[in-house]
Amino acid sequence: MLDILLAWFEGIGKRTLRFLGNMGGITLMFYRAFINIFLPPFGIKRTFKQMLVFGVESIPVVALTAVFTGMVLALQTTYEISKFGAENYIGGVVGLSMTRELGPVLTSLIVAGRVGASIAAEIGTMKVTEQIDALETLAMNPIRYLVVPRLIAGITMLPLLCALADFIGIGGGFAVSVYTYDIPSRFYMDSFQDIVGAYDLFVGLLKTIVFGAIIACVACYYGFKTSGGAEGVGRATTIAVVSSCIIILLADVLLTALFVG
Amino acid sequence: MAEKNRKIGKKVIIEASNIHKSFESPVLKGLNLKIYEGEVIVIIGRSGCGKSVFLKHIIGILKPDEGSIYYNGLNISELSEKELNDVRMDFGMLFQGAALFDSLTVKENIGFRFYEYTKMKDDEITEIVREKLQMVGLVGIEDMYPAELSGGMKKRVGLARAIASEPKVVLYDEPTTGLDPIMADVINELILKLQSELNITSVAVTHDMVSAYKIADRIAMMYDGKIIEIGTPEEIKNTDNQVVKQFITGSSKGPIDVISGK
């Protein structure tokens, strides 16, 4: 009996330690990458390439998600709030939901899946084929070469993607409200302007800066930790995506609590 | 065939003293080795005995748990990142799988240090890259990507990258493993040719005895985390040490007992 209990506690302890170890590792990864941003040699070409992968190439999937989210939001909410005659405020409801919460979080989750996975797989492959060691032998700091461009891409591109998602989502909501529920377009715009302020937009974009850093650092961390050939790369990719999604949602709760109001 | 007519000084260029390193289990257990300037030293030993781990200690990718590595009197494991990177400029390393950067072309791989650390013009780098490629017997592949090359070509490009910035020491991790016997011999010849042309010190790790006899000035046998025997190829061939004898003759019977899992 005691043995089972002890084993149970041991299991909890082990998992807690591993969790804390990984969180520490990710934080350290961010810290070292952040310092290296300011040290030469600056890989401007590398950074632009990552921005392209992170930002530009994510536009289609982010836009698609945003437009459907905005449409569903308007479809469902207009139906519900029309029961007490508030359907004319739908513009504000969609606008606030998109800018504060859905734009930042959905965009980040989509990008975590798309870009996080590819970062972890690429760096993981480099690790198991000794390319990371080769960088070191060529006197290049792997953090500076691999992590810094991805971190910069994350914290600059995700806010831009989010702004785009906000815009497209609000547009999707507009289309549904006006063409399905026959709400005058004036009302949609007016309620949007009344309810959504610059502060809401700012809070949403601020969140995505944090989420962008999370995606880049978590994916790089698990990429660098990869061992064990092709199977290891697969494992690193999965765990990178799952972890970054969970950490994003966790960080979202904290940031929302901090900025609510 | 290139001749082994090198001048080997008595100057110690690399010294490993009492190196201990453990991962899950101990790998290096008090390894001592002196490497002289200008020689080709080949470290032999069974797969997984820690030869590559030792090689990575020399260039500072891994740090010893105990003991120190000296390069020209500098303690490698105590250097700052910047100092270590300065020292690494004196080194070149050829990895087992060549470890070329997938996302860069052959030219960008070989010219990596020039692109990152110098303000040289693209034309000048192209010229150096072409010259290094010629040294390893390759022509006109500058703009290809590593994925388009065969195993032997990758190794040779890896070698060109290792010697691109004129290192003083070149480390070879299993230079002939995974190649057909002819390509393996081509690589051996290249190592000898570079040795005589560039006047470098070479440290190679291998379990390919044909290659070891061909290129080595001295052979060191690694076993159980230590160097247990060191000498010229002739001395190693005529050794009395049963462990070494078993290894170089490639027998499953002897003091190294694989089957019972010791």
Phi then psi dihedrals of residue B49, to 5 deg: -85, -5
Segment B32-46 shows an average pLDDT of: 91
Segment A228-235 shows an average pLDDT of: 92
Mutation site for B-interface testing, chosen from A130, A140, A143 by largest number of B Cβ within 10 Å: A130
Beta-carbon neighbour count of residue B10 at 10 Å?
Answer: 7
Which are the contacts of A222, defined by CB distance < 8 A and separation ≥ 6? A120, A124, A236, A237, A239, A240, A243
What is the signed CA dihedral for B34, B35, B36, B38, rounded to 10 degrees? Answer: 180
- The answer to whether the CB atoms of A140 and B112 lie below 8 A apart is yes
Q: 3-class SS at A105?
A: helix
Our CA angle for A162, A167, A173, nearest 5°, is 120
Mean pLDDT rounded to a whole number for chain A = 92
* Cα B249 to Cα A211, A228, B69, B231, B236, distances in angstroms: 59, 31, 31, 16, 11
B211 close to B188: Cβ distance less than 8 angstroms: yes
H helix runs in chain A, sequence order: 2-36, 44-54, 59-81, 90-97, 103-111, 117-128, 131-137, 142, 148-180, 185-195, 198-224, 229-259
Segment B28-43 shows an average pLDDT of: 91
Mean pLDDT rounded to a whole number for chain B = 88
Q: Cα separation of A141 and A94, whole Å?
A: 46
Nearest to A137 among B61, B102, B116 (CB): B61
- The answer to whether the CB atoms of B88 and A129 lie below 8 A apart is no
Question: Per residue in A7-32, pLDDT tens?
Answer: 999 999 999 999 999 999 999 999 99
Question: Per residue in B150-206, pLDDT tens?
Answer: 888 999 999 999 998 889 999 999 998 888 888 889 889 988 988 888 888 999 999
A256 close to A101: Cβ distance less than 8 angstroms: yes
Q: Cα separation of A174 and B40, whole Å?
A: 75
pLDDT of residue B3: 47
Whole-number percent of chain B with pLDDT over 90:
42
- The answer to whether the CB atoms of B102 and A126 lie below 8 A apart is yes
Taking the alpha carbons at both ends of chain A, their separation in whole angstroms is 51
Task: For residue A258, count CB atoms less than 10 angstroms from its CB and return exposed for 0-12, middle for 13-18, buried for 19 or more.
Answer: exposed
Nearest to A138 among B81, B86, B112 (CB): B112
* Chain A residues with beta carbon closer than 8 angstroms to that of B97: 129-130
Phi then psi dihedrals of residue B220, to 5 deg: -120, 130
pLDDT of residue A1: 78
pLDDT of residue B260: 62
Whether B2 shows a pLDDT value over 50: the answer reads: no
* Chain A residues with beta carbon closer than 8 angstroms to that of B101: 126, 131, 134-135
* Chain A residues with beta carbon closer than 8 angstroms to that of B81: 141
Mutation site for A-interface testing, chosen from B95, B100, B174 by largest number of A Cβ within 10 Å: B95
Of residues A221, A220, A210, A249, the one with CA closest to residue A109:
A249
What is the signed CA dihedral for A132, A138, A141, A146, rounded to 10 degrees? Answer: -50
What is the signed CA dihedral for B31, B44, B46, A233, rounded to 10 degrees? Answer: 90
Segment B236-259 shows an average pLDDT of: 83
Residue B261's pLDDT band, with cuts at 50, 70 and 90, is low
pLDDT of residue B7: 58
Question: Per residue in A122-143, pLDDT tens?
Answer: 999 999 999 999 999 998 999 9
Q: Is B123 on the interface with A (CB under 8 A)?
A: no
**Read out DSSP for B41-60?**
EEEE--TTSSHHHHHHHHTT
Segment A32-38 shows an average pLDDT of: 91
Segment B18-40 shows an average pLDDT of: 90
Q: 3-class SS at B67?
A: strand
Encoded tokens for B98:
């060549």
Segment A193-203 shows an average pLDDT of: 90
Q: Cα separation of A185 and A33, whole Å?
A: 47
- The answer to whether the CB atoms of A139 and B117 lie below 8 A apart is yes
Segment B207-229 shows an average pLDDT of: 90
Whether B218 shows a pLDDT value over 70: the answer reads: yes
Residue A111's pLDDT band, with cuts at 50, 70 and 90, is very high
What is the signed CA dihedral for A225, B45, B37, B83, rounded to 10 degrees? Answer: 10
Structural domain range at position A107: 2-259
Nearest to B91 among A133, A137, A140 (CB): A137
Q: Is B89 on the interface with A (CB under 8 A)?
A: yes
* Chain B residues with beta carbon closer than 8 angstroms to that of A44: none
- The answer to whether the CB atoms of A133 and B99 lie below 8 A apart is yes
Segment B65-69 shows an average pLDDT of: 91
Whether B81 shows a pLDDT value over 60: the answer reads: yes
Q: How far is B250 from chain A (nearest CA, A)?
A: 28
A218 close to A243: Cβ distance less than 8 angstroms: yes
User: Secondary structure of chain B: what % helix, strand, coil (to 5)?
Assistant: 35, 25, 40
Whole-number percent of chain B with pLDDT over 70:
95
The answer for B 140-199 residues in CB contact with A (under 8 A) is: 161
Ranges for all domains in chain B classified under CATH 3.40.50.300: 1-90+169-187+198-254
B170: nearest CA partner in chain A: A137
**Structural domain total, chain A:** 1
The domain B1-90+169-187+198-254 is placed in CATH, from the list 3.30.9.10, 3.40.50.300, 3.40.50.740, 1.10.10.10, at: 3.40.50.300
Whether B262 shows a pLDDT value over 60: the answer reads: no
Peptide bond before residue B64 is cis, with ω within 30 degrees of 0: no
B146 close to B98: Cβ distance less than 8 angstroms: yes
Beta-carbon neighbour count of residue B148 at 10 Å?
Answer: 12
Q: How far is B56 from chain A (nearest CA, A)?
A: 9
pLDDT of residue B250: 84
Segment A189-206 shows an average pLDDT of: 90
Segment B108-118 shows an average pLDDT of: 90
Task: For residue B67, count CB atoms less than 10 angstroms from its CB and return exposed for 0-12, middle for 13-18, buried for 19 or more.
Answer: middle
